[in-house]
Amino acid sequence: MSTKPAILVLCTGNSCRSHMAEGFLRAAVGDSAEVFSAGSKPAGYVHPLSIKVMAEAGVDLSGHTSKHMNEFLPRRIDVVITVCGNADQVCPMYPGQVARFHWGFDDPAHAQGTEQEILQEFRRVRDEIKVKFAAYGIAVKAGKLQG
């Protein structure tokens, strides 16, 4: 069993925001922590525009899959971070969990408008997630699991 902290990012559909957060956090922590994402009602896919805008930022999500949060109940989770209100409300208690944070972001999958406007919304949300999760990743890498 790994002694590295295990961090789970939760969202409702596990198709956009949680994958973006997972990608940025993994990039920031390197091998200092294990990072996962899941959803309370997984969409069954990772949104293609999430994959696209993250690739623009240098993070590859093409191998990610949409997972249910219950898959992580049997394992040790040290930190749970919810990125949408619904996931925060339905988040179960994970055994041994030392910290739980809620950092809400708009869901770009609900964006409306032209193709370019929708893409801009994905980029905006991506950039907001990057700021929060890159900063948190620096703290994790330094050995501080705090919000």
In this predicted model, what pLDDT tens digit does every residue of 63-84 receive, in sequence order? Answer: 999 999 999 988 888 899 999 8
Assess contact for 46 and 66: CB atoms under 8 A.
yes
Length of the chain: 147
Please tell me the predicted confidence (pLDDT) of residue 37: 97
Q: Is residue 65 part of a domain?
A: yes
Residue 1 lies inside a defined structural domain of this protein: no
In this predicted structure, what is the pLDDT of residue 75?
87
**146 within domain boundaries:** no
Decide if 145 is inside a domain.
Answer: no
Tell me whether residue 111 is in a domain.
Answer: yes
Q: How confident is the model at residue 94 (pLDDT cuts 50, 70, 90)?
A: low
Catalytic residues: 11, 84, 91
Once rounded to an integer, what is the mean pLDDT over residues 111-136? Answer: 97
**Enclosing domain of residue 11:** 6-138
Mean pLDDT across 28-34: 93
Q: Is residue 133 part of a domain?
A: yes
- The CATH number of the domain holding residue 49 is 3.40.50.2300
In this predicted structure, the answer to whether residue 26 has a pLDDT above a threshold of 90 is: yes
What value does the mean pLDDT of the chain take? 90
Phi, psi of 82 (to 5 degrees): -95, 140
3-state secondary structure of 34: strand
Count CB-CB contacts under 10 A for residue 136.
24
Q: Give the confidence band of 54 by pLDDT, cuts at 50, 70, 90.
A: very high
Number of structural domains in the chain = 1
Structure tokens, 135: 């900063």
Cβ neighbours around 88 below 10 Å, total: 20
Is 21 a domain residue? Answer: yes
Q: Which amino acid is at 16?
A: C
Q: Is the pLDDT of residue 95 over 80?
A: no
